[in-house]
Structure 1
Amino acid sequence: MIGVVELVVLALGAGVAVAGYAGSVPLPSEPVVPQASVLYYRDGQTELARLGVTSRQDVSLDQVPVPVRQAVLAAEDRSFHDHPGVSWRGLTRAVVRNVADGAAQGASTITQQYVRNAYLTQERTAERKAKEIVLALKIERRYRKDEILERYLNTIYFGRGAYGIGAAAHAYFGVGVDRLSVEQGAVLASVIKDPYHFDPAVDPAGAADRWRWVLTAMSELGWIEAGAVAAARYPEITPEAPGPAALAGPLGQIVDQVERELAALGVSAQSLRTAGLTVVTHIDEQVQTAALDRVAATLKDQPKGLRAALVAVEPATGAVRGYYGGSRGVGYFDDALAPRAPGAAFRPVVLATGLIKGISAGSIWDGRSPRSFRDRGGVPLYNRDNEQCPVCSLDFAMLRSLNTPYYALAEAVGPESVRELAVRIGVPQKYQGRRSLVDEPGAPAPGSTRADIALGRYPVAPADLASVYATFAAEGVHAQRRFVDRVISADGRHWAVPPARRAQVLPPAVAAELTAVLAKVVAVHTPVRERPAAGMFGTVGFGDTVESQEAWMAGYTGDLAAVVWLGQAEPGPLRDRAKRPIRGEGMAAELWRDFLAAALQGRPVAALPGAVGDDQRISYRAGGPDQAAGDRADRQARERRTGGQQDPGRLVERQDEQKPNPEPTGPPSDAPSGATPPKDPSRPTSPATAGPAAVDPAAPVR
């Protein structure tokens, strides 16, 4: 569509019907008065948040230091003083680029940006672009260049709730605009293009790259010396992210997610705060209230450093119904998007991979502890509490959260196969620009996935794990996670919001079999009142101690999938107020259970994915050495206990299922290493820049 828009513009520029069309587009005497936008819960009536002008102070152009003005021109419009309001060369270049590679190449001058922000909407249509061209030409005839630049600098949105360069100077540096240095001016110039993602508190690396690019452009234009660019140091930024008081709490992070989705639809941050939009979200008031209340109750009177994340997704649609990523609000670290080791909560993905490959949940594996495996480089793997299960079905191993059977399963099906499935059902291909679910640099196999994936050592964000479990609940259909339902402009027009992408990524029979296993886990450990539910807990140990450092619970009912994470800003023992270790099957599972009970109270009971027909059943295949080793160990142990008599307490494989393929053998690899801990969340930052929590390879995973 953008190519068509700019072809229309070129036609106008060439003189096609310019006179008649220009006469039909009047130039308003004054800019449109900014209007706040309102975000609503899914009912379209209950207000969730209000976004509007929160900080604005007009300044005269002579108050803005010349190098700061030049930084803005270098970033946004280098030929500002030479064109008549529109850069025909820039438009032509943009059309060529769009036709060549399909990119949405922009070509708006500062005059056009001012017109768009002061008089028009942000819609991507040929009509709006044509009006923008005509009004820009008229503005240039009404005002001098310095007047246009002054108006632009006083109306453009710089992020952090700051409209105009005067407010931005205080928001980012805590100084008046007349005291801005060239380095500080380059920071402000760099954020105009994308006030959220180029905020140094959100993406420090991206912001620094953009800042350096602005300084380099100033050097190329002869406005600063080349040596000054090399010597420049990124200035210190105010850590706070100012915003309305209503957005300073947990709802503020929902606003962050809504803003991201709207940006992808062409709704700029400035338009969201000035255009009087009505944004109806997928957030359900009852579900969100349950999330906030239950998290608050769980964290009350606990150690100050204890943090939580909770994400609830509707399986059938991908709609986010409840969300908690922290308590500090807009612009701050979001724990729901921070990738961390999920422990055994990731294990159902391994079982699902086995089911797809014909290995049944009732197949028997060697669950002795400790065991040695190829991928662990001689480091023995223990079960929790060193529990022994020499003849161990996979469903029983899930119920008891045993490590050794699932590590063997991951080796048998191939760790890369587990990763491929995880990506299909909800884990992104990359975190922080790096491939997900693989060893990081310095680990035994950088860029590759090892069988440690069965232990949940590779980081996953709680929000993404919620999408994974929602896929299980939706009988294998993955739906794109979404916050925004619909957007309505101030004059009643609806923006085009494409439906969430949905795809069958897991056979229904696998989802049903997996659900049957996970339903047993919930029934034994943390049943949800009067509702069938399925799920799995996870606890990541701290070092080689009995302490924990991450606690998870993930699961679903028929109509809501939810994931809970409990942890801290830095790796270390995770304890409650009584100094007891916090575990997945304990506090995290209790929070998950209580949340679901409150979120779904008074609503119809939805069934879990059920049994499938004969035509969809999985055909399981025969077993091998891992099974044989288990049989031998079990027989020897039974003979020692009973003196050769039959042991009535022996765990027996289900009669309708067969045994798995053998686990592969091979030379040991180097021992795994931990990951990089996340940045300090006491500063506002983007979860996209937060690294995963460190995990000791010898630490127990429960």
Structure 2
Amino acid sequence: MGRAEERRARQARGRRAAPKRSSGATVVGSTGVGGKAAGKARRSGIRRFVNWKTILGTFFGFCLLGMGAFIVLYMVVDIPEGNAAAKQQSNIYKYSDGSLLARTGEVNRELVDLDKVPKGVQKTFVAAENKSFYKDAGVDLKGTARGVLNTLSGKGKQGGSTITQQYVKNYYLNQDQTVSRKLKELVISLKVDRQKSKDDILAGYINTSYYGRNAYGIQAAAQAYYRADASDLTVEQGAYLASLLQAPSQYDWAVATDTGKRLVKARWNYTLDNMVEEGWLDAAEREAMKFPVPKPPKGAPGMEGQTGYLVKAAENALAKQLVAQGTAEDLSDAQARVEAGGWTITLNIDKKKQAKLEKAVKAQLTSKLDPEKRKVDANIQAGAASVDPKTGKVVAMYGGQDYFKHYYNNATRRDYQAASTFKPLILAAALEEQAETQSGRPITANTIYDGTSKRPVVGSDIGFAPPNEDDRSYGDVTVQTAMNKSINSVFAQMGVDVGMDEVLKVAGELGMDTKGLQAVPAQTLGSMGASPLEMAGVYATLDNHGKKVTPALVASAEHKDRTVEFPDPIGEQVISREAADTVTSVLTGVVDDGTARFSVRDNPDRDGQQVAGKTGTSDNNKSAWFTGYTPKLVTSVGLFGEDAKNQNQVSMRGATGLAAEGGRVNGGGYPAQIWAAYTFDAMGKVTRFDLDTTSGAAVEPTEKPTYTWTPSSTPSSSEPTTEEPTTEAPTSSAPPTPTDKPTTTEPPTKEPTAPVPTPTDDIPEDPLDPRKSD
């Protein structure tokens, strides 16, 4: 047996001779060699499962799981609709000179196309926020991961997002700091970057970001900080606005601490240096740039005072035009489109004339009202509208003392009688239709009528016998005198002579809303409703020699994606020039020798200015009017009695303490005074009418008409008196030749109807002071 075999035999015997271990026995040396061997055996078992291969495999497994989850997330998360707040814009309202009138809407934002922003200014935002914007895929994975970890660990907001991600957050999502929102932001940003151009994303970013000072978007920010449009920003200014986005409140120069100013200046420099680094700005140009200190904050114009009236009237005009051109289905739809925002609306309102009109109303009326002393003073409402007759532009409007105190616009309301301001339209119809009296005589300014109060009209199936003011009878008078003194009985008969259907037709052509009106003699007293704006348009058509003038408040309206075209305010010839000019000539007599002479003719500021106009005062003194014009300006002023508590129509008698004329507020009083104070201040150069007429008489001569009147064979209480005209004659006028006899030779076919509302705008009894008070 060799040595090797002997060794193996010994080892085999040793194994057979080893004693068996019981479960409860303690083997000497078990903690030695045996325990150590057992420990090695256990460690060897763990290594079989935890080694570098296992760790690496697990890591890749998690990666694959994450990738799978992200793929699923990418597939299920779509680009949502933009949130309402991000789409909301304000409306911008401007005066005719382009200066800001008002800005409305909860969000001060006006979207602008990127091509309206200078290229250099565009680059400031990229340089400040995301230099790799034009190269990246829309996301910053490291920044997003850092944000998620900080959110999970409770450390709060963390920057590092790309411009695309910030745009997605502003426009599609919200500002919540949650893991789910950040993951959605990541997915949507990737999709947006693939579906939209970089320019679209940048435009969205600068239009949705908040810049402080309640300014959302670059246009609002440019106005808030530099009083400029986005299109006029410089690179220096753009760099400041881009720098603001990091901390709008802290970096607003007007309220920033020294630290805040230092930080925003550092960021401004950082932005410009990045532009140089990227090749977007010349280094020498950069060195010459100085920090553009923003202008101090300026409160946005509110809706108080006249602003609210102007804004709402402009909105209504725009809404009606949207319906007219088919952009909106109906007025409700149109108003919703306007209120959605994004409009820049330029009004025809002349800022200087608007201020002059407000000043005139205050000086001539509202400063004299004292509701604590006289209850009636709380019931006085004033409205006015001023129109350029050559262009149709509404250059000034007065809606009431304050939009917040009286919501209803007195310049556009139509619920008060037009009263005797309607009389010129009757004459216009007579001239245009070449109407004749009952005896077949042409109606002209010199035609003789019977001015007896309560004289029944002749030739009407409907009985009508209106009283004159204070039941005063004038006897035989010309049409000119009847207009000067606003004699109701004359124009009631004239309306019947012309035919009330024709009167209302011509009134409608001149611009008055006559829809639904009955063609009855009572309409000759102006019993229909009208607004100062409407009457200004009617008289502007007369001033414009018969070419239709439709007052236009809005000059233009632009939206991001469309421009609204408005019709030309000047229309076609609706009545002949001779007819229109003759009415104008006659209306100069109302000023020079009639119911407006005290307030207008004798006004020291008139300076020779030629004026035509007509007063009006309605039944029970609920309204008082003066609508007058010069060759370049037409203005209608109305005063309305409105109960301050329940808005019912009430009398204005005794307002401001008036005692003369029974306390009556006449059209020749405050309305004419307001008109004169405004017009003679706003007119400037003195002008004269260029009239084409052969029948206008203006001031009536004093000579008695050369004809013999034969009284009716059936006298009654309405028989004409024999009073003669009492007006003064101009030295250059020759007496007219009467063309007709009084038209009272036949009784009416029916009995007069019940009393009707009566205009009361005759000449005040006291020529020295028609506004005499206690």
Q: TM-score, normalised by structure 1?
A: 0.55
**Alignment counterpart, residue 310 of structure 2, candidates 243, 247, 254:** 254
Query: What's the counterpart of residue 534 of structure 1?
Result: 612
Within 1, Cα distance between the matches of 2:335 and 2:305?
Answer: 20
Query: For residues 554 and 278 of structure 1, what CA distance do their matches in structure 2 show?
Result: 32
- Aligned amino acid, residue 349 of structure 2: I
Bigger mean CA offset, 297-306 vs 370-379 = 370-379
CA contact (8 A) 1:541 1:701 kept: no
Quick check: 1:667 aligned with 2:733? no
The equivalent residue for 1:506 is: 575
Residue 328 of structure 1 deviates from its aligned partner by 4.1
Is the CA contact 1:376–1:672 (under 8 Å) kept in the aligned structure 2? Answer: no
Distance in 1 separating the partners of 2:482 and 2:500: 19
| Corresponding residue to 2:88 among 14, 17, 34 | 34
Amino acid in structure 2 at the alignment position of 1:260:
N
Could you say what secondary structure the match of 1:247 adopts? coil
The CA distance in 2 between the partners of 1:639 and 1:521, in whole Å, is 23
Relative to structure 1, the CA distance from residue 253 to residue 648 in structure 2 (aligned partners, 3 Å threshold; closer, same or farther) is closer
2: CA distance between counterparts of 1:350 and 1:500? 24
What RMSD in Å do the two structures reach over aligned CA positions? 4.5
One of 282, 287, 300 as aligned partner of 2:348: 282
| Cα drift, residue 654 of structure 1 | 4.5
Classify the secondary structure of the residue corresponding to 1:632: coil
CA distance change for structure 1 residues 36 and 648 in 2, over 3 Å: closer, same or farther? closer
Contact kept? 1:376, 1:669, Cα under 8 Å: no
More deviation, 403-412/566-575: 566-575
1:325 maps to: 399
Larger Rg belongs to: 2
Once the two structures are superposed, the pairs formed by residues 78-227 of structure 1 within 5 Å of their partners are none
Residue 594 of structure 1 aligns to a residue whose secondary structure is helix
Q: Residue type matched to 1:582 in 2?
A: V
Partner-residue secondary structure (3-state), 1:671: coil
1:336 CA displacement: 2.1
Which of 396, 404, 418 aligns to 1:342? It is: 418
- Give the CA deviation at 1:384: 2.4
Distance in 2, matches of 1:360 and 1:539, equals: 25
Cα distance between partner residues in 2 of 1:409 and 1:256: 40
Offset of 1:523 from its aligned partner? Answer: 2.2
Give secondary structure in 2 for the equivalent of 1:562: strand
> Where does 1:252-651 land on structure 2 (aligned, <5 Å)?
252-263=308-319, 264-265=321-322, 266=327, 268-269=334-335, 272=338, 275-297=341-363, 298-302=365-369, 303-329=377-403, 332-339=407-414, 340-356=416-432, 357=434, 358-373=442-457, 380-430=465-515, 435=516, 438=517, 448-489=518-559, 494-500=563-569, 502-524=571-593, 525=597, 526-527=600-601, 529-530=606-607, 531-542=609-620, 548-569=621-642, 570-579=649-658, 580-600=663-683, 603-612=684-693, 631-632=709-710
How far residue 598 of structure 1 moved from its aligned partner, in angstroms, is 2.1
Distance verdict in 2 for CA 1:421–1:648, change over 3 Å: closer
Q: Distance in 2 between matches of 1:257 and 1:565?
A: 17
- Contact preservation (8 Å) 1:425, 1:478: yes
Change (3 A) 1:669 1:326: farther
Structure 2 contact 624–640 (Cα < 8 Å) conserved: yes
On the 8 A contact 1:371/1:404 being kept in 2, the answer is yes
Aligned CA distance change for structure 1 residues 413 and 653 (closer, same or farther; 3 Å): farther
Cα shift at 1:315: 1.2
Matched residues in 1 for 2:727 and 2:347: separation? 57
Structure 2 stretches of 5 or more lacking a match? 1-78, 110-170, 173-190, 196-207, 209-299, 329-333, 370-376, 435-441, 643-648, 697-704, 763-774
Secondary structure at 1:486's aligned position in 2? Answer: strand
Aligned to 1:48: 101
Larger displacement relative to structure 2 (293-302 or 308-317): 293-302
**CA pair 388-629 structure 1, distance change in 2 beyond 3 A:** farther
Q: Is the 8 A contact 1:311 1:463 kept in 2?
A: yes
Measure the CA separation in 2 of the matches of 1:38 and 1:385: 51
Rate the CA distance shift 1:585–1:650 in 2: closer, same or farther, 3 A: closer
Residue equivalent to 1:78: none
Counterpart-to-counterpart distance in 1, 2:760 and 2:571: 37
Letter in 2 for 1:516: S
How far off its partner does 1:587 sit? Answer: 1.4
How far apart are 1:505 and its partner, in Å?
0.8
Residues 596-636 of structure 1: CA deviation (Å, up to 9, x unaligned)? 11222xx3334324135x8xx89xxxxxxxx99972369x9
Partners of 1:648 and 1:550 in 2: CA distance: 27
1:60 is matched with none
SS in 2 for 1:254: helix
Counterpart of 2:638 in structure 1: which amino acid? W
Distance in 2 separating the partners of 1:667 and 1:628? 30
Contact 1:35 1:273 in 2 (8 A): no
Residue identity opposite 1:535 in structure 2: G
Q: Deviations over 1:408-456 (max 9, x none)?
A: 11111112211111111011243xxxx1xx3xxxxxxxxx221222222
Superimposed CA distance per residue, residues 145-166 of structure 1 (whole angstroms, 9 cap, x where no aligned partner) = xxxxxxxxxx9xxxxxxxxxxx
Number of residue equivalences: 440
Q: Please tell me the residue identity of whatever aligns with 1:312.
A: S
Q: Specify every segment of 5 or more residues in structure 1 that has no aligned partner in the other structure, as ranges.
A: 1-25, 57-117, 120-137, 143-154, 156-243, 439-447, 543-547, 619-626, 674-695
Q: Per the alignment, do residues 568 and 245 of structure 1 end up closer, same or farther by CA in structure 2, a change over 3 Å counting?
A: farther
Shift of 1:488: 3.4
Once residues 597 and 42 of structure 1 are traced to their aligned partners in structure 2, the CA distance between those partners, rounded to angstroms, is 21
> 1:494 and 1:666, CA in 2 relative to 1: closer, same or farther beyond 3 A?
same
CA distance in 2, matches of 1:275, 1:259: 11
Cα distance in 1, alignment partners of residues 741 and 727 from structure 2: 24
Structure with more contact order per residue of length (Cα contacts < 8 Å, sep ≥ 6): 1
Shift of 1:660: 7.6
CA distance in 2, matches of 1:29, 1:639: 80
Q: CA deviation at 1:518?
A: 0.6
Q: In the superposition, relative to structure 1, how do residues 639 and 662 fare at CA in structure 2: closer, same or farther (>3 Å)?
A: closer
Query: Structure 1 residue 306: deviation in Å?
Result: 0.8
How far off its partner does 1:309 sit? 0.7
SS at the partner of 2:657?
Answer: coil
CA distance in 2, matches of 1:699, 1:535: 16
For 1:281, the aligned partner's letter is L
- Specify whether residues 582 and 639 from structure 1 end up closer, same or farther in structure 2 by C-alpha distance, changes over 3 A only: closer
Q: Is the 8 A contact 1:350 1:409 kept in 2?
A: yes
Give the whole-Å Cα distance in 2 for the aligned partners of 1:453 and 1:639: 25
Q: Kindly tell me: are residues 381 and 261 of structure 1, through their superposed partners in 2, closer, same or farther at Cα, counting changes over 3 Å?
A: closer
* Alpha-carbon offset, residue 380 of structure 1: 4.5
Deviations, residues 8-46 of structure 1 (Å, cap 9, x unaligned): xxxxxxxxxxxxxxxxxx9887775534332111112x2
Structure 1 residues 412 and 296: alpha-carbon distance in aligned structure 2, compared to 1, 3 A threshold = same
8 Å Cα contact 2:461-2:749 kept in structure 1: no
**Is the partner of 2:749 in helix, strand or coil?**
coil
- Report SS of the residue matched to 2:572: strand
